[in-house]
């Protein structure tokens, strides 16, 4: 199926939509049945049958079908947050005594959740590359978790290579694909077992919802949907699912614009004397650019730069001088955002991820690139001086 058609039309011509240009939002928390036997059968398959909001809902189900199709997966399950999806997915794959390998830098709260699991007897090890995987794997290792491009550093992982290694060692692989969206990268087609996303970012696209999703085979997603999804209670609301559906309609157009503006801003910063490095996989100077071209069809507009300073005060002053970039967490909306991990991230997490003091993350929005470049240039003048 064509991605543009999936985003705009998949499931939207079915009888239950009744010809509405916006699919109906089913607000009810309970669905009723004509017989007790029918209710009993539905409860056995509550991940697919409409019983109670905490299981699934027609509006949420439509969003799940679209996301599964975009990722080329069999099933998808939407959650009330990205961390809801990540924590439920990891929990579904490990038990007391198991070990998790974490490849490269990953989202800070994911690391925090893995530390939380230590009190239940689940351990983890952070590794930087495949060579370290060989030395860090244990007999109890069950899961390999990674992002590509990686968190904050935006290093690129050879997805097919790492999943082949994981299969040889009997490990399940989970990858966070939020950065690329399913339009620009499809990890399941390269051997990844489960893909997770924060739907709050590019897929939602308007900074007005919080949500997450896991996509993969029915063999892995269905048990998760019946157990961790139900027990953790991180259900996506039908109103948020409707926002996901609307966000998907414009995702191809928005991602093309994000890519164009992001690369223009990154190229400007790459030549600026006040910047030591630009971590954007779309730049030919990026060490993972060749791999990125092989496994990705495009680039989003989230990247980081390392300012030429070791001073938190100068980093803070740089952020304060910006006028068009707004200071804030998250990313993927219309508005351009800036954040400095050294000022906001727990020190132990930052140290684990190897994030330098001068690292600044930029989310290039949909404002004109020239406006954003001028804004950054004026803020950098004081840094260079």
CA atoms within 13 A on the CB side of 265: 36
**Residues 310, 7: Cα–Cα separation, whole Å:** 44
Q: Which residues are catalytic?
A: 54, 107, 176, 201
Mean pLDDT of the region 126-134:
93
Which DSSP string do the residues of 205-242 spell out, in sequence order? -SS----EEEEE-HHHHHHHHHTHHHHH--BPPHHHHH
- The pLDDT value given to residue 284: 97
Mean pLDDT of the region 83-98:
98
Mean pLDDT of the region 271-296:
97
Across 13-27, 44-58, 252-266, the highest mean pLDDT is recorded for 252-266
Assess whether pLDDT exceeds 70 at residue 350. no
Assess whether pLDDT exceeds 70 at residue 375. yes
Structure confidence by residue, pLDDT tens digits, 134-183: 999 999 999 999 999 999 999 999 999 999 999 999 999 999 999 999 99
Burial code (b: 16+ CB inside 10 Å, e: under 16) for 188-217 equals bebbbbbbbbbbbbbbbbebebbbbbbbbe
Mean pLDDT of the region 236-250:
96
What is the percentage of the chain residues whose pLDDT exceeds 90?
A: 84
Cα 255 versus chain centre, distance: 15
- The pLDDT value given to residue 353: 65
Structure confidence by residue, pLDDT tens digits, 42-85: 988 888 888 887 778 999 999 999 999 999 999 999 999 999 99
């Amino acid at each position: 199926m064509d991605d543009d058609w999936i985003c705009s039309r998949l499931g939207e011509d079915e009888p239950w939509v009744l010809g509405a240009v916006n699919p109906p939002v089913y607000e009810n928390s309970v669905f009723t049945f004509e017989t007790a036997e029918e209710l009993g059968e539905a409860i056995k398959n509550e991940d697919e049958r409409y019983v109670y909001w905490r299981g699934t809902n027609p509006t949420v189900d439509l969003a799940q079908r679209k996301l599964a199709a975009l990722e080329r997966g069999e099933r998808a399950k939407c959650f009330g947050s990205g961390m809801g999806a990540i924590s439920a997915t990891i929990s579904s794959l490990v038990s007391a005594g198991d070990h998790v390998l974490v490849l490269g830098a990953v989202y800070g709260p994911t690391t925090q959740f893995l530390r939380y699991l230590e009190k239940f007897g689940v351990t983890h090890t952070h590794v930087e590359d495949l060579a370290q995987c060989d030395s860090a794997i244990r007999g109890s290792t069950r899961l390999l978790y990674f992002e590509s491009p990686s968190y904050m550093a935006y290093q690129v992982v050879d997805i097919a290579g790492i999943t082949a290694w994981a299969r040889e060692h009997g490990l399940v692989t989970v990858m966070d694909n939020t950065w690329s969206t399913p339009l620009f990268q499809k990890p399941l087609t390269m051997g990844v077992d489960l893909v997770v996303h924060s739907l709050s970012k590019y897929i939602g696209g308007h900074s007005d919802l919080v949500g997450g999703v896991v996509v993969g085979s029915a063999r892995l997603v269905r048990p998760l949907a019946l157990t961790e999804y139900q027990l953790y209670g991180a259900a996506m609301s039908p109103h948020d699912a409707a926002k996901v559906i609307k966000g998907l309609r414009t995702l191809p157009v928005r991602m093309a614009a994000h890519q164009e503006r992001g690369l223009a801003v990154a190229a400007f910063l790459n030549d600026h004397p006040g910047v030591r490095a630009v971590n954007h996989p779309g730049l030919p100077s990026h060490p993972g650019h060749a791999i990125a071209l092989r496994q990705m069809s495009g680039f989003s507009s989230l990247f980081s730069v390392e300012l030429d300073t070791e001073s938190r005060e100068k980093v803070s002053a740089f952020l304060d001088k910006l006028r068009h970039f707004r200071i804030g967490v998250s990313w993927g909306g219309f508005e351009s955002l800036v954040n400095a991990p050294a000022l906001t991230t727990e020190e132990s997490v930052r140290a684990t991820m190897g994030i330098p003091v001068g690292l600044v993350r930029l989310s290039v929005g949909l404002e004109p690139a020239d406006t954003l470049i001028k804004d950054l240039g004026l803020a950098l003048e004081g840094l260079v001086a």
